[in-house]
Amino acid sequence: MELVVIEAVRRSVIGKQVKALRRQGKLPAVIYGRSIAPTPITLDLRTTTQTLSRISSSALVTIDLEGEKYTTLVRDRQRNFISGSLTHVDFQAVSMLEKLRTNVSIEVHGEPPAIKNFNGILVVNLDEVEVESLPGDLPERILLDVSTLNNIGDSLHVKDLVLPENVVVLEDPETIVVVITAPAAEEVEEVVAEVAEEEPEVIEKGKKEEGEEEEAEE
């Protein structure tokens, strides 16, 4: 696993005053955990954004806080809802000797034969799972090969995920991760076909009712 290090300094500025830090290209954050009380810190916005953009949510991040190093997980990333830029990050310091629970992303790879042969659509129902393990055993992502999906309706479940030996999945094993569905266009065509079959009956019924009304008027 790649060693990711982010340098930080302690932060005394809190509340609304952190806006001034952001204008200076700084990113307010907090680090907390069993080995450290909740501590406001400041990071370089550009460097942190680049670093966090290339790692998964289950990757370990070392925070170098003025010479003291803490192994952490990113627990929350807040963003500006207009620009999308980071505005705050929460880091949880973890012990390499204690198990923890976190979410690991699922990365789909391969080409399902059902897409080529039957014009099927691959629907991803679950893009991450909660797992439990020691921090050092956490996978950055879980690869899922979908090349075994041959027909419409074929699916893969949580129980089909392949994980490292010391990692336990906490999700229901029967939960569907991916499934092949029929194209929506075919469903629409089927509905149109059904309506088309019903229309003559409606028209015929309407004509019959009109004829009955004319006879009644005579």
Same domain, 8 and 87: yes
Same domain, 107 and 50: no
The confidence band for 99, taking pLDDT boundaries of 50, 70 and 90, is very high
Same domain, 8 and 32: yes
Per the listing, tokens 């953009």 go with 53
18 or 49: which leads in pLDDT: 49
What does the pLDDT look like over 30-81, one tens digit per residue? Answer: 999 988 999 999 999 999 999 999 998 899 999 999 999 999 999 999 999 9
Same domain, 37 and 88: yes
Strands, E assignment, 13-85: 26-33, 36-44, 60-65, 68-79
Q: Which of 65, 94, 123 is the last residue in one of the domains?
A: 94
The pTM assigned to this predicted structure is: 0.75
Q: Which of 43, 66, 94 is the last residue in one of the domains?
A: 94
With contact defined as beta carbons under 8 Å apart, do 157 and 126 qualify? no
- Among the listed ranges 120-129, 140-149, 206-215, which one has the minimum average pLDDT value? 206-215
CA nearest 71: which of 41, 26, 36?
Answer: 36
Structural domains counted in the chain: 3
Average pLDDT value over all residues in the chain: 87
What does the pLDDT look like over 162-208, one tens digit per residue? Answer: 999 999 999 999 999 999 999 875 554 554 445 445 545 444 444 44
Pairing of strands 4-10, 60-65: parallel
Q: What CATH number is attached to the domain comprising 116?
A: 2.170.120.20
Q: Please enumerate, as own/partner, the contacts of 72-80 that have beta carbons within 8 Å and a separation of 24 or more.
A: 72/31, 72/33, 73/100, 73/102, 73/135, 77/52
Same domain, 162 and 121: yes
Same domain, 9 and 86: yes
Same domain, 142 and 177: yes
CA nearest 13: which of 26, 31, 32?
Answer: 26
By residue range, what is the domain housing residue 217? 186-218
Same domain, 82 and 111: no
Q: Where are the alpha helices (DSSP H) in the chain?
A: 18-23, 45-53, 113-118, 184-217
